[in-house]
Amino acid sequence: MIYITGDIHGTISINKRLNSRNFPQQKHMTKDDYVIIAGDFGLLWDDSNEDRYWLKWLDKTKSFTTLFVDGNHENFDLLEQYPVESWNGGEVHRINKSVIHLMRGQVFNIEGQTFFTFGGAASHDKEYRKEGKSWWSREMPSQAEYEEGLRNLDKVDWKVDYIITHTCSTTALEYIANCCDLHMDLDEMHPYFQGIEQKANYKHWYFGHFHHDFELPNNLRLLYTDMIRIN
């Protein structure tokens, strides 16, 4: 079984969100079951004892395997120190035995379902953050990552079961601005995802970043604290 949820922001809410009271379904899960976090996982942040404790907590005490795409609130210097491995058809950073970072522009096969993953997003508060301490320019994808994403979608004829990103397409950004009065600047990621939304054949697209939970047109689902079973 596979569940998906939105931004965790590391030690701020890892326990609250994934403890067995809030997420009782884990009682029926094993390490062959998955919880996917749609960005802003946040436990690769300052390499503190607290971060290490909660990474170990996920690996040693939780019944499930944790997968995440990166958001904008990740320490990319730390994240990129982990070795890149092939896993279920795509590339990952393996953080520990059962905590795995799904890299940008990859297609994975998990429990017979295909997933296109593409993390990253622009921080709207970066002027209040310090580069290398609380903000990293690698929150935005490189040209090579954009191209790899399109190449990997080409390889599967633009057909996947699920798409998981941290931010969203241009029309989704406009929809969120209109419905919730929640405005974030348009950047290069939104038209990139717009092209994918128009061309790809997918069942559902899950994303986070905006700290709300609701369904949008075109089978898009904005996620925050909801835990959704996706298969």
User: How many degrees, rounded to 5, is the angle at CA 196 between CA 40 and CA 161?
Assistant: 75
Nearer to Fe ion, 71 or 105 (CB): 71
Q: Which of 106, 182, 175 is nearest to 144 (CA)?
A: 106
Is 165 a binding residue for Fe ion by CB under 5 A? The answer is no
Rounded to an integer, what distance in angstroms lies between the CA atom of residue 27 and that of residue 127? Answer: 43
Q: State how far the alpha carbon of 42 is from the alpha carbons of 31, 54, 151, 213, 214, in Å.
A: 21, 11, 28, 19, 22
Q: In the bound complex, what is the minimum distance in angstroms from residue 132's beta carbon to Fe ion?
A: 18
Is 51 a binding residue for Fe ion by CB under 5 A? The answer is no
Instruction: Return the beta strands (E) in 172-213 as ranges.
Output: 204-207
Is 6 a binding residue for Fe ion by CB under 5 A? The answer is no
Rounded to an integer, what distance in angstroms lies between the CA atom of residue 184 and that of residue 176? Answer: 9
Nearer to Fe ion, 71 or 90 (CB): 71
Is 72 a binding residue for Fe ion by CB under 5 A? The answer is yes
Among 6, 35, 40, 106, contact with Fe ion (rule: CB under 5 A): 40
Is 26 a binding residue for Fe ion by CB under 5 A? The answer is no
Among 10, 42, 71, 149, contact with Fe ion (rule: CB under 5 A): 71
> What are the residues binding Fe ion (CB under 5 A)?
40, 71-72, 209
